[in-house]
Structure 1
Amino acid sequence: MKRIGYVICCIAFLNWLNSCGSDDAVVTPITIEELSIRAEVDENPVSGSAVATVASKLPGTLTYTLSSISVDNAVEINSATGVLSVSSSLAFDYERRTAITGIVVASNGSESEAWDLQIGIRNIDDIEYWLSDSKAVYQAENSGNWVLITEQEYEELTTQLNSISKSGTTDLLYSQGSNSELFETYAGFTVSNDLSSIPENSYVFAFKYLAQADSLAENQVKVSDGIVTEGYANLGNTLPIHNQGQRYFVLKGARQSTTTSRGFLGIYSQNGVSYDSQGNAAGTHLFGAGDINEFSSTNVLDRVCIYQGLSTPVQQWD
């Protein structure tokens, strides 16, 4: 009985195997095609610039959508062409991330594809990139040194770098003070304007002022952290030697945020830092003898010293 049962089982198995091999059950090998988009961009790209194009081969009229993205609002996609472009340049900050990833879906209404998106971010020094006449000097300098640059370069940095704020004084007051016919100059004093504070968690990376003396080599930019009367620290090394006139500087390698809360911009004046004695530029500044880090609240003058700094919350340099 055991043998008969065995034979019956074998016959049943062969019949089943034969039925599986019939024409209506063809086994098709599974083909896995990787759908991916790989691109690289320099950090802090111009908003609206193209990054990549999704090239789906699905038939018919296609619609492209951005299904997911690792950084909100980093890129946007043209639903008809599949062109990916920069939406927020601030998302492409190499110091915060080295890549942005996501999923793009292409669909013709009945079929769809999911494309893996990866955008690598290349680290660049944006300050170096936008300098022209002073580029070689900037490249050769060590971190912590200020570099004398041209007015055109200073304005280019103001325009091209992201999230710029101006501290020390406003453009209007700076212009009004510079157009005065009479100036008073500080020699051996530290001063700080009591307006146009530095935004929190920002880097001061550039500085300009109206110098009223020649062969200046010891003037020192300073920043406070929180209040205008105290907590000042040197920002970088002393300004490089320069003569009188409108002078512009950029700091090589600002590594740490200069303020954790609202801060103020000051300067130690070996000589040459001035204010409009006619009072064309309304405002106040504090002053104190020597290279100091705090002021008496009683040492206040109703004039604006003619200097200004540039800051940004985004580190855009090496």
Structure 2
Amino acid sequence: MKPQNNLIKVLLLGLLIIISSCSKDEVPTVISANDLNKTMDENPETGASIGTISTNISGTFSIISQNPNGAFAINPQTGEVTVADASLFDFEINTTLQAVVVASEAGAESIALVNVTLNNIDDIYFLLSDSKPAYETASNGDWIAITETEYNILADNLNEVHKVGTTDAEYNSSPGLFSGSSGWIRANTTQPSMPSNSLLFAFKFKPNSGTGTGAKVKVSTTSATKGYMDFGSNLPTNNQESGGSLHYLFKGNNTPTEAPGFICFYTAPGGINGANSVSSTSAVDKVTANIQGDHSDLSSAVFRDNWVFFYQGLSTTQKQWD
């Protein structure tokens, strides 16, 4: 009987294999991976979660293409999509971002799309720290006092920033012996200028003393010595920080220059004692103009060769605020 039992077992095993094989052929593995659509604010942190690819499997996940390249990362086990390069989630650069994800298990695959739409936010407000409340309450056209750290963060993190008035090297030169009185217009007539279609949004200078009360920023699109007009409100009171600089932010500039622009500044009587300058080899080929009173034309000013007044503005050709 034993040989007969063995034969039956062999036949039953063969039948199970056939049934199992037919069953797999009739009901193949089907993967369902759903698209991930997300609307979010620009400027997220690197590593921030965007969402998870929803599927009916516990397989693996990978990104096979993305636009822009390097924007997204994915957890290969869970399918969670995260921010890989936060700098690409910038509304002024990319209003939308996409990726193609493949979910796979046991040789079967399914494709899911990741679609991210960015909300435009005020990048200046986002980058501020100590001065957020003052910026919130200010009206368009107002200057507010900010810190040196905030000024530098704005210069380094906003797009298409240009420095006008002086270069960093000129501004950071050691001050000379100049000590002018208040109530004067001062301009570097050979200065880095704003390109056409620029928006001025920040300013700094080194006073000899005082808090800057009543000082004005003036802008010209005519030349470095003519056509100057007041730009916004007077500069507010601001306490000097280490290094002696005063830093300011302009709110709501919505009118770009139609031509290359130049800046100068006026120090009001009683609010400030002059403005630092340098007269040295670092100022070779530089020319300054200064004239008493609040003027738009500096062509009759006193001109000094190889001098630099310490002031600088920040402008951009790309509006990044409300």
Give the structure-1-normalised TM-score: 0.69
CA deviation after TM superposition for structure 1 residue 253, in Å: 1.8
Corresponding residue number in structure 2 for 1:76: 71
Unpaired stretches in structure 1, ≥5 consecutive residues? 1-27
Aligned residues: 280
Contact kept, 8 Å, 1:74 with 1:89, in 2: the verdict is: no
Task: Assess, with a 3 A threshold, how the Cα gap between structure 1 residues 132 and 53 changes in structure 2: closer, same or farther.
Answer: closer
Rounded to whole Å, the distance in 2 between the matches of 1:211 and 1:274 is 4
**2:264 matches 1:263:** no
In 2: Cα distance, 1:65 partner to 1:162 partner: 30
Aligned CA distance change for structure 1 residues 34 and 224 (closer, same or farther; 3 Å) = farther
Structure 1, residues 122-175: CA drift from partner, whole Å, max 9, x if none?
A: 333333333333332222211111111222332333334344332211222112
Unaligned 5+ residue runs, structure 2? 1-26
**In the alignment, is residue 311 of structure 1 matched against residue 315 of structure 2?**
yes
- Find the counterpart in structure 2 of residue 225 from structure 1: 221
Task: Give the SS at the match of 1:184.
Answer: coil
Relative to structure 1, the CA distance from residue 219 to residue 288 in structure 2 (aligned partners, 3 Å threshold; closer, same or farther) is same
Q: Secondary structure at the match of 1:183?
A: coil
Structure 2 CA distance for partners of 1:188 and 1:218, relative to 1, 3 Å: same
Alignment of 1:185-196 (within 5 A): 185=181, 187-196=183-192
The percent of aligned pairs where both chains have the same amino acid is: 30
Alpha carbons 2:162, 2:314 under 8 Å: kept: yes
Does the 8 A contact of 1:193 with 1:265 survive in 2? no
Identify the residue that residue 207 of structure 1 maps to in structure 2.
Answer: 203
Residue 161 and residue 248 in structure 1: after superposition, are their counterparts in 2 closer, same or farther (change >3 A)? same
The 8 Å contact of residues 77 and 84 in structure 1, kept in 2 or not, is answered as yes
Residue 209 of structure 1, CA deviation: 0.5
* Residue 250 of structure 2 corresponds to residue 251 of structure 1: yes
Shift of 1:220: 1.4
Residues 63 and 214 from structure 1, CA distance in 2 versus in 1: closer, same or farther, beyond 3 angstroms?
closer
Go from structure 1 to structure 2 and tell me whether the alpha carbon gap of 1:232 and 1:116 turns closer, same or farther (over 3 Å shift): farther
Residue 114 of structure 2 is aligned to residue 117 of structure 1: yes
Where 1:180 maps in the other structure, the secondary structure is coil
How well do the aligned residues superpose, as a CA RMSD in angstroms? 3.8
Instruction: Report 1:28-43 matches (<5 A).
Output: 35-43=34-42
Q: Which secondary structure state, in structure 2, belongs to the residue aligned with residue 93 of structure 1?
A: coil
Residues 64 and 38 of structure 1: CA distance in aligned 2, closer, same or farther (over 3 Å)? same
Of 297, 300, 304, which aligns to 2:303? Answer: 300
Q: Show CA shifts across 1:5-58 (max 9, x none).
A: xxxxxxxxxxxxxxxxxxxxxxx9xx9x78322234432456x65563663747
